[in-house]
A and B are shown apart, each in its own frame.
Chain A
Amino acid sequence: MKFIDIVLDMKDASSSGSADDGAILADGKKLDDLRNALESGKDQQQIDAMKKVIGYIAKGRNASALFPNIVKLVASSQPELKKLVYVYLERYAEEQQDLALLSISTFQRGLKDHNQLIRGCALRVMSSIRLPIISPILLQGISEASTDMSPYVRKTAAHAIPKLASIDPATREQLIEIISRLLGDRAPLVAGSAVLAYLRVCPDRVDLLHKNYRKLCQMLIDVDEWGQLRFLEVLTRYARTQFTAPKAGKLDFDHQLLLTACQPLLLSRNAAVVLKVVATCQELGTDEDIAKTIGPLMNLASGDRRETKFLALEVVYRLACSSPHLVSPYLKNFTIFWAESEQIALLKIKILTKLAVGSPGTAHQVNRELETISFWDKEKLATEAVRSLGEIATVPELTQTTLVKLMTLINDKREVVSGEAVVSIQKLIQINPERNEPVIKKLARLYIRETVGTSNAKCSILWLVGEYAHFISKVAPDVLRVAAKAFIKEVDEVKMHTLTLAAKMSVQSEIPEQVALATTYVFNLARYDQSYDLRDRARFLKNLIFGELELSKFSKAILTAPKPVPTKVEVDERFRCGTLSSSLGIEARMYSALPDFALEASPSSLRELPKPIKKAPAKTTVARKASKSVSSSESESESESESESEDCTSGPDAESQSESESESESESESSEGEPELSEESALVKTAITNAAEAVAAERAPSESGDHAVAIIEDSSDPEAPPIAEIIINPDRQASNDSSPEPKSTVSS
């Protein structure tokens, strides 16, 4: 109920008066008002009313009651109104399928419009209305548009393909055919979308790519930024399945082609493109290629946008784990600013740690930085820093220097920090107890002097002393003495550990008298303690050690059994770098793993363009030579001057070629396609005519007559060209233009 009482359209003068009473759409009067406005036949009123309706939708309210009134407006000549109606249709068409069919005929007409924007728009909206029943019409529309003269329309066709595939999976085969045609398109605008369609509909059909691979590589720099992302995805997958794993200096010609082609994209303004190139180089390239990407990656990682910074740092983290020597020169970039957000700071600490572990030369600097942070007033960062110090200390040559720092941190006033320090030390000692004997002693002395403040730290020390009592046989009894003395003042946790310590001490081979006395004292105190757990534990241990049970023989073995060393949490490398799944750490829907490199590279003859006249599969060696010279000369010309290459991609010959293609195609299709369509979608068409008639009847009194007739006739046979002409003509005259050329495709 919160967001209902706001009038959305402030500009709308007519609604300003009824801000409160008109808020609820279910209100009959309001609904009638809107309906009247929509039926008024006056453009401005209709537009105002439509704006209001869209406003309601934006607020999440149901405006489906107006569907019959609005669907009629789709034939309006007013482009602004049309746009609004499209927005409405996309939202409600699924709920009111029968009525939505009324609009289809208008779109079909739109597909034949002389203006490419309208053709494109019609196809886009038609494919966005998700009605399974129109899939044959849509398929026809897409296949026609895919051979359109205008690249814009062809692009829209490519975009419509995944939509249709999701509505009606049965059309997949035909769609793949169209995709294979579009992949060969030479306009960069189309190629970006064609690749998208390929990715969504048939990412496993590698055979479609063979012939286009080189062309796509060369086009990479010309397509728009979003297209570049898809290109890289497709090409990466292709390369993984076709080429063998990279070895320096021995790359397949085509493999190298892709890596070279994506180099310039590292300068792109779009952070996503840069990150994608980085990922591509990691997935396909040699170390050399990866090294080239580091600079741009660091730029993103120290940029000023929080989100991209975070993602770039994640990539850096991965890299720091796998090859720290590449990242370590940029160490300074990861010093932590006070004002930085917590996630970024945490990630930086993780990276620093990996660097110190991976390339010990940096450890000194990292340690100092981490030490600084451990004093900060931000607990989460401080604890993470301490934990990281602990991790660094596991590297043998760094243990001594790092341990000193950790020891000072034990006395930190913040429980979490000191606890973390002791836990880190505990881990260290567990890994190599013999070497760290002095450390245990030092800790024990700290305890004896009662300078350990937090209970967490106390617990850890008591446990350590108990565990390694045989190393420090002189100090251990003293620790027990102090612990026994302080027993009554301690919290349950510490009491429990004191008890364990006493038990462990008493099973040692030779025990001094004092230890035995202290043990009995502790057990007696524990027996009458308030805590159930403690009493229970005391009883259990007492019976185990001093009892007459069969088990008591093994009490020493039980209590001093070797404990498993804590293992490090390894990096999560299950998911591909840069994907959502890897950010979240769980697999997201539609995640597709990266295919492994091929064991054997596919022959490069696959990727050569067929000779226009004859196809000679037998003479592969000759063909390979020829094509190599061709492609090298091509790349030369491109590097010489880009304007030249631009010319040859978008130049007149490409246009004319596609034009002639489209003409011949459309001719052949008009001869074949028409009867096919009428058979297939007879049902649809009757539905359309029925509905159209109903609406026309309803609308007849309010509308001028000839318009309605036009709709009926047109929808009864949408393919007939003369009627299409008639309908187009008034529109054109309304915009008062006399156009000399544009009827070419339709009227022929």
Chain B
Amino acid sequence: MIGGLFIYNHKGEVLISRIYRDNITRQATDAFRVNVIHARGTVRSPVTSIARTNFFHVKRGNVWICAVTKDNVNAATVFEFLNRIVNVMQSYFSKISEENIKNNFVLIYELLDEILDFGYPQNTEVGALKTFITQQGIKTQSKEEQAQITSQVTGQIGWRREGIKYRRNELFLDVLESVNLLMSPQGQVLSSHVSGKVKMKSYLSGMPECKFGMNDKLTLDKSAVTRTDDASKSGKPSIAIDDCTFHQCVRLSKFEADRAISFIPPDGEYELMRYRTTKEINLPFRVIPLVKENSKQKLELKIVLKSNFKPSLLGQKIEVRIPTPKNTASVQLLCAKGKAKYKSSDNAIVWKLKRLGGMKESTITAEVELLPTSDKKKWSRPPISMNFEVPFAPSGLKVRYLKVFESKLNYSDHDVIKWVRYIGRSGLYETRC
């Protein structure tokens, strides 16, 4: 499998090198630096083959993490594993930066020993790792702790240890969604989807059993069949989830059978599920572009931004990026709300609005003066892109319930304090013009 793992900083200096196989030499580190990190201008492919040695890399911040192998491997496995390493490191020292890696290199070596034995990926569950690898080095453990590790390492529930106690049992549920949209100049939706995740922070005592419910169409239909008298419920909006994936703790066979999401949660923060919807998406914003090319030296742009959600809600951090031709000489801007600026380095007008209420409309007009060029080619009109954040789930997903059962300790579902939050963000949100 993986023959070696290197971590570089942005200059290409080696921070960590761990070699598992004889056929990977130390020259490989140089080969990657010269051919990939220092390669100029070209778009780097995530898989690079240099002299029959294959390099897989991911880049996080300023740090390159690179796995090397000569063998035929499952490429997806390697990337998945690299991402997992990133997650593990993040949970140990929050941000991945050159500084943090230098300060923690002993820890990283220990982690690598544990999760990558002879190049084969192993258990990468952070909860389990944290019981026996700590930042302070290995503690001399008491008997009890050792027993805990035993059950952790060997048991079925690798992601939770026993004997967790909290005075206040709390649950935080975040529904995070990113909306992707591609719209044609005529206002027709070419492609749109929401990729969302349910993130959870749980501070619960004991070994609770949780049940999670949402307004998934299939589940609701199923329950509607069983309880025909409950017709009023079917009137509520439900959503069709195209596809979803779950954290390891969710019982997949149960979901397969009756679409019930039940699990024993890990302690602390984790991602419960990811999902994707493509139908009936509530698009929070619409951009209506109007471009007039008056003459060879003049261009008039008028962009209307419409918000399309409940008036009581507020969209935030709105940024609209309007590209301009390369030979732009000067731009005159006029907007009723927010601030707009022409950035010559990006060839774009950036229009920022701190917040915008629902069902509102705002317009920006720009007069662009162009320099005469020898280039006869027409301006190719790249799409207008935008960023935003809204306090609801554009897919329409609603959390119906999250029940907690703990039979051994005496707290019930009512004693748990639960918080739910919805955040919708923009993914790739483009309008062609």
Contacts and interface: CB of A to CB of B under 8 A. Distances in A.
Contacts of B195: 299, 302-304
A77 to B, nearest CB: 9
B17 A588 contact: no
Given A267-B244, A588-B71, A414 B255 contact: no
A586 B52 CA distance: 9
A268 interface: yes
13 contacts: A3-B14, A9-B105, A10-B103, A11-B103, A79-B138, A159-B120, A265-B252, A298-B243, A304-B427, A343-B43, A580-B73, A649-B156, A650-B155
Given A151-B154, A339-B430, A264 B256 contact: yes
A124 B120 contact: no
A677 B160 CA distance: 42
A431 B381 CA distance: 35
B276 A302 contact: yes
Interface stretch (B89-97, B109-117, B289-297, B357-365): B109-117
A79 B139 CA distance: 8
Contact of A79 (B122, B140, B246, B247): B140
B31 to A, nearest CB: 14
Given A152-B154, A276-B74, A372-B432, A128 B245 contact: no
Interface stretch (B145-153, B401-409, B412-420): B145-153
A342 B253 contact: no
Interface residues of A, number: 108
Contact of B75 (A60, A225, A267, A583): A583
Nearest to A279: B74
A308 to B, nearest CB: 6
A221 B54 contact: no
Contact of A588 (B72, B137, B155): B72
A739 interface: yes
Interface string B79-109: 1111100000000000000010011011001
A688 B277 CA distance: 65
B244 A80 contact: no
Given A87-B110, A229-B77, 5 more contacts: A2-B12, A8-B102, A10-B99, A303-B195, A650-B155
A256 to B, nearest CB: 16
Interface of B: 11-17, 22, 26, 29, 43, 45-47, 49, 52, 54, 56, 58, 69-77, 79-83, 99, 102-103, 105-106, 109-110, 113, 117-118, 120-124, 132, 137-138, 140-143, 146, 149-150, 153-156, 158, 178, 180, 182, 190-193, 195, 242-248, 250-257, 271, 274, 276, 278, 375-378, 380-383, 385, 427-428, 430, 432
Contacts of B381: 375
Contacts of B190: 332, 335, 369
A117 B133 CA distance: 12
Per DSSP, chain B at the interface is: mixed
A253 interface: no
Given A589-B71, A639-B257, A335 B146 contact: no
B102 A80 contact: no
What are the 5 tightest A-B residue pairs by CB atom distance, in nearest-first order? A591-B72, A413-B377, A3-B13, A588-B72, A377-B380
A590 interface: yes
A299 B193 CA distance: 10
A6 B76 contact: no
B157 to A, nearest CB: 9
Interface stretch (A50-58, A98-106, A465-473, A474-482): A50-58
Interface in A259-318: 263-265, 267-272, 274-276, 295-296, 298-299, 302-308, 310-312
A58 B242 CA distance: 46
Which among B46, B83, B192 has the greatest number of chain A C-beta atoms within 10 A?
B46
B245 A268 contact: yes
Contacts of B257: 639
A646 B29 CA distance: 45
A375 B243 CA distance: 34
B129 to A, nearest CB: 13
Contacts of A80: 137-138
Contacts of B75: 311, 578-580, 583
Contacts of A339: 385, 428, 430
A628 B70 CA distance: 44
A18 interface: no
A584 interface: yes
A128 to B, nearest CB: 7
Interface in A552-594: 578-581, 583-584, 586-592
Contacts of A196: 120
A163 interface: yes
B47 A583 contact: yes
Given A162-B118, A308-B80, A54 B106 contact: yes
Contacts of B385: 338-339
Contacts of B156: 188, 222, 646, 649-650
Nearest to A592: B72
Which among B140, B153, B245, B276 has the greatest number of chain A C-beta atoms within 10 A?
B245
A377 B106 CA distance: 48
A6 to B, nearest CB: 7
Given A376-B380, A591-B72, A115 B146 contact: yes
Contact of A60 (B14, B49, B109, B242): B14
Contacts of B122: 224, 226
Contact of A269 (B103, B274, B378): B274
A533 interface: no
A569 to B, nearest CB: 20
A639 B253 contact: yes
Interface string A481-494: 00000000000000
Contacts of B141: 735
A153 to B, nearest CB: 9
B74 A579 contact: yes
Given A339-B430, A642-B254, A302 B193 contact: yes
A690 to B, nearest CB: 28
A124 B274 CA distance: 36
Given A87-B113, A588-B70, A275 B246 contact: no
Nearest to A377: B380
Nearest to B109: A87
A335 B426 CA distance: 17
Nearest to B117: A159
B380 to A, nearest CB: 4
Contacts of B12: 2
B246 A269 contact: yes
Given A8-B105, A337-B182, A339-B385, A268 B274 contact: no
Contact of B245 (A51, A79, A269, A638): A269
A539 interface: no
Interface string A221-246: 11011100100000000000000000
Contact of B191 (A296, A335, A341): A335
Contacts of A591: 72
Contacts of A305: 79, 83
Given A84-B106, A377-B380, A298 B242 contact: yes
B117 A124 contact: yes
